[in-house]
């Protein structure tokens, strides 16, 4: 009998927050819990076999983004990866955007270096012209020619709340032209969009297994070879010297193996198409409702598969209230990024709109009513119909 997640009769549409383990991933995990328990640093056969499985997973993951295996370093997740970027790179100017995840924004601020916040348009896109201007101004031929800056550009590939997909290839070309380090938080895009670190001139990326039906507590940072001599000697966690000394601690072998499996499943073109189709179908159903507004990119083709961010203007509920109403009816969605909801205190929890929507200059009235529906290949059309029925009744 295939082992499966139990959704307890709930419809789960919160796949940008996290995902359920895929059945094949559970099987891989259970098998590896039983057989791959040895410490990969041990010199005996079982240890060597665990080490070999880690290296196979590393190679698979590296190939999927056109990186080399020695450019992938496993760690506890994307929060750690993003922190690692800001705590180990050498820079004195950060260029980033206000719609980044908190695990980019907070370490950027904590670095006490100068930050330039790029403007976003209503769909959440940065302006490449603005990026080029600020890069040019701060380099040898610009206004700061006397003291050019060492620049770190950090722009996420796909936004977790509104599904905006940035043109990382164009950003990478600009970073190369102006000799800036280019980091991208690829948590929401890994396995769902094509990533080619060489083609996009990426120096660093952050990724996490639990957004693509893999286990929680495991991610990786990709560090381009050319940057390694400046970064690897600045490890944040030292000790046993695992991950070539960059991230000490006995490796999370089972989750590493499961991450590669989850990625393999995600890369399946049928699954990717299914998510896009479900997204289109749900929007076709819901857009007929009175006063519904789609926040973020209006052209679904340019939007991260599975993401819909909607404001129902005729409903008397604000975002959180609507999330609770849907939960009462067995549907899990969210009002924004799961990580920021931990930060709200009781006073403002029912009044503050998403910082991402605010950064995109979305009217406060609309932003306060926004909910995020995030689908995965595990969802099906019956679930879309159920949600449409529930929302139609509420409206």
Residues that bind ligand PLP (CB under 6 A): 77-79, 101, 103, 156, 160, 185, 187-188, 208, 219, 338-339
- Phi/psi for 175 (5° steps) reads -65, -40
Strand order in the sheet with 114-117: 72-75, 219-223, 204-208, 181-185, 151-154, 93-96, 114-117
**Residues labelled as active-site residues:** 339
DSSP 208: E
The encoded tokens of residue 171 equal: 């950003």
User: Minimum CB separation from ligand PLP for residue 15, in Å?
Assistant: 11
CA distance linking residue 354 with residue 241, whole number of Å: 40
- Classify residue 5 by burial, with Cβ atoms within 10 Å: 0-12, 13-18, 19+: middle
User: Minimum CB separation from ligand PLP for residue 258, in Å?
Assistant: 14
Residue closer to ligand PLP (CB basis): 139 or 279 = 279
Residue closer to ligand PLP (CB basis): 324 or 339 = 339
CA distance linking residue 153 with residue 135, whole number of Å: 9
DSSP 118: P
CA distance linking residue 1 with residue 276, whole number of Å: 30
- Phi/psi for 25 (5° steps) reads -70, -40
CA distance linking residue 322 with residue 371, whole number of Å: 8
Closest chain position to ligand PLP (CB): 77
DSSP assignment string, 79-92: HHHHHHHHHHS--S
The total of other beta-carbon atoms located within 10 Å of residue 16's CB is 28
User: Minimum CB separation from ligand PLP for residue 161, in Å?
Assistant: 9
CA distance linking residue 185 with residue 153, whole number of Å: 11
Residue closer to ligand PLP (CB basis): 51 or 157 = 157
**Partners of 95 in the β-ladder:** 116, 153
User: Minimum CB separation from ligand PLP for residue 177, in Å?
Assistant: 26
DSSP 14: B
């Amino acid at each position: 009998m295939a082992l499966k997640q139990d959704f307890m009769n709930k419809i789960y549409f919160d796949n940008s927050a996290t995902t359920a383990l895929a059945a094949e991933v559970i099987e891989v995990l259970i098998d590896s819990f039983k057989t791959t328990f040895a410490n990969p640093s041990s010199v005996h056969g079982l240890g060597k076999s665990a080490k070999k499985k880690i290296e196979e997973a590393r190679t698979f993951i590296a190939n999927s983004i056109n990186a080399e295996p020695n450019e992938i370093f496993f760690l506890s997740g994307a929060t750690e990866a993003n922190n690692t970027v800001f705590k180990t790179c050498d820079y004195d100017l950060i260029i980033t955007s206000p719609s980044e995840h908190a695990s980019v924004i907070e370490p950027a601020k904590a670095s006490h270096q100068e930050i330039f916040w790029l403007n976003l348009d209503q769909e959440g896109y940065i302006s490449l012209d603005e990026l080029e201007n600020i890069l040019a101004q701060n380099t040898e031929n610009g206004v700061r020619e006397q003291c050019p800056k060492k620049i770190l550009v950090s722009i996420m590939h796909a936004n977790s709340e509104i599904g905006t997909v940035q043109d990382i290839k164009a950003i990478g070309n600009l970073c190369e032209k102006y000799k800036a380090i280019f980091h991208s938080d690829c948590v929401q895009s890994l396995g769902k969009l094509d990533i080619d670190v060489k083609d996009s001139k990426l120096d660093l990326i952050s990724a996490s297994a639990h957004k693509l039906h893999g286990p929680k507590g495991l991610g990786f940072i990709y560090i381009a070879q050319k940057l390694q001599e400046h970064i690897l000697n600045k490890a944040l966690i030292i000790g046993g010297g695992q991950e070539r000394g960059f991230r000490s601690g006995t490796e999370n072998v089972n989750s590493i193996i499961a991450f590669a499996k989850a990625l393999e499943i995600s890369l399946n073109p049928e699954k990717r198409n299914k998510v896009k189709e479900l997204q289109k179908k749900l929007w076709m159903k819901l857009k007929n409702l009175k006063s519904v507004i789609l926040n973020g990119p209006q052209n679904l083709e340019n939007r991260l598969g599975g993401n819909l961010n909607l404001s129902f203007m005729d409903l008397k509920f604000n975002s959180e209230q609507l999330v609770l109403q849907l939960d009462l009816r067995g549907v899990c969605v969210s009002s924004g990024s799961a990580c920021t909801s931990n930060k709200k205190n009781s006073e403002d929890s029912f009044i503050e709109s998403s910082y991402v929507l605010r950064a995109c200059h979305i009217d406060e009235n609309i932003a306060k009513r926004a909910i995020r529906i995030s689908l995965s290949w595990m969802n099906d059309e019956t679930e879309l119909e159920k949600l449409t029925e529930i929302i139609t009744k509420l409206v």
